Structure 1
């Protein structure tokens, strides 16, 4: 409902802006005797409107008060001292200049509401997203949900469960050698290598996309995980020769940490990740 109101306010404000601009142009063109004067007044109205757009309504109202006071004093001087006649163009700009300011404020308000709504939806989408946008892998939110279930199954049915956490060694240095597009492609390629190295009932996650960190939940013990680790490193070595060296002109090396689930030592999924990352220190 709020979004619809913001859209209606924005559309209405833009329509009003076109209407009053059209009216001002027609009024200016219809009075050739005061053409220059009306052009100057139109520019003043636009200037106050622009200042209002980039500042606040209060600033715009203050400028309008100054304008009305100055223009009213000028008109009064012409009428009393010089014996002039108050004509339609005098009243027109006293009314239209504040109207320009009001419509500009409506546009600013509608734009701010739409921006706030967009930011809120973006944050909400990010908080609810369960897939990594670059690799289509499950993210850390999915990992926490799945790991909680897998850990419960492991405890209840005495099924071995091991978490592998892997990163690309010297990633920060490698980022300086390739552009952003190639970086995204490298992350995708490593993800595909990881996917082809596990069984169908195992799960692969992108735990951190900024500093690429993958997590693999394996229904196997620590020794079985070593087989997966060897398979991963062999495939990366093969890809370095066949793909990476030619595609990116660099070689990738994986750092892997693995830990088998123990209910007493690993109470939560986050503890599972922490314990696996500690094991990466021994992979040199």
Structure 2
């Protein structure tokens, strides 16, 4: 799998942070006499890195400048008033603090970019996906693409093309009675009603998963589509009696609308779908 630049920088920053932690442990272990002082300074540095992680590098740099100034003033005070020599530890912490901040900032920045890339990929996947993952049904994206092909076949060979739209009545109310982990299974079970009522060369689409709406593209006229609709309603009665009502403790009802393709009246796939949905208003 190809590594992105953000992923590489994230790994480098994380490894750099671990190396700095290791170096700090070795230094503190080698200077047990100043353990309390070193631990206090380390806590301040870690606090600055945490603030940097949740804010910006600018905030981290400002805190580092303040830390270097205060710590340098403290060392200078002890040197002037107590006559202590400037030890190597003073330089160690002054150098280590910005290095910690830099490592954490690079890691945070790379992680955020990776998250943005992941979100973009998920959006692109949802926009381009032609199959629904849970039901294996074609989506609205596939519907728009297929309609162009089917409409061309219908016009060229004079074969009538009809769109049947099926929607679950009162779905928003029904989902309150169905467990969350059963919602996708319920959609799949309802889809099987339509799948069992069509021919192998007819195509079923899951148009809207949120409001549970399907589309059927049938190479038939309005009368032929009515036969399919009647078969779906007959299957629905049996399904309610034997399966759905017992399994989900709720009665299933469907709104169904159908419209035949007319080149003069249909501008695009969305217009065709809208016309079919209008027909559902007469299904009461």
- Normalised by the length of structure 2, the TM-score is 0.97
Question: Which has the higher mean CA deviation after the structures are superposed, 184-193 or 54-63?
Answer: 184-193
Q: What is the SS of the residue equivalent to 1:92?
A: helix
In the alignment of these two chains, the number of paired residues is 284
Q: Please give the per-residue CA displacement for 1:109-156, whole angstroms capped at 9, x wherever unaligned.
A: 211121121112112212221111221100001001111111121112
> Does the CA-based 8 Å contact 1:165-1:214 persist in structure 2?
yes
1:56 CA displacement: 0.5
Q: Please give the per-residue CA displacement for 1:237-272, whole angstroms capped at 9, x wherever unaligned.
A: 101110012101111011100011111111211111
1:9 CA displacement: 0.8
Divergent runs of 4+, >3 A:
none
Matched, 1:92 2:81: no
> Does the CA-based 8 Å contact 1:3-1:117 persist in structure 2?
no
Q: What is the SS of the residue equivalent to 1:259?
A: strand
* Number of the residue aligned with 1:214: 214
Distance of 2:84 and 2:244 partners within structure 1: 85
* Number of the residue aligned with 1:121: 121
* Number of the residue aligned with 1:159: 159
Structure 2: gaps of 5 or more residues: none
Distance of 2:70 and 2:49 partners within structure 1: 17
State how 1:232-251 maps to structure 2 within 5 Å.
232-251=232-251
> Does the CA-based 8 Å contact 1:3-1:114 persist in structure 2?
no
1:57 CA displacement: 0.3
Distance of 1:15 and 1:249 partners within structure 2: 54
* Number of the residue aligned with 1:135: 135
> Does the CA-based 8 Å contact 1:137-1:206 persist in structure 2?
yes
1:2 CA displacement: 9.3
Q: What is the SS of the residue equivalent to 1:214?
A: strand
Distance of 1:145 and 1:185 partners within structure 2: 27
Matched, 1:46 2:46: yes
* Number of the residue aligned with 1:80: 80
- Normalised by the length of structure 1, the TM-score is 0.97
* Number of the residue aligned with 2:274: 274
Question: Which has the higher mean CA deviation after the structures are superposed, 175-184 or 137-146?
Answer: 175-184
Matched, 1:67 2:67: yes
Root-mean-square deviation (CA, aligned residues, Å) is 1.3
Structure 1: gaps of 5 or more residues: none
Distance of 2:188 and 2:151 partners within structure 1: 28
Question: Which has the higher mean CA deviation after the structures are superposed, 172-181 or 46-55?
Answer: 172-181
Q: Please give the per-residue CA displacement for 1:196-218, whole angstroms capped at 9, x wherever unaligned.
A: 11001111000001111000000
> Does the CA-based 8 Å contact 1:52-1:104 persist in structure 2?
yes
Q: What is the SS of the residue equivalent to 1:81?
A: helix
* Number of the residue aligned with 2:24: 24
Q: What is the SS of the residue equivalent to 2:198?
A: coil
Matched, 1:252 2:252: yes
* Number of the residue aligned with 1:104: 104
Distance of 2:4 and 2:251 partners within structure 1: 52
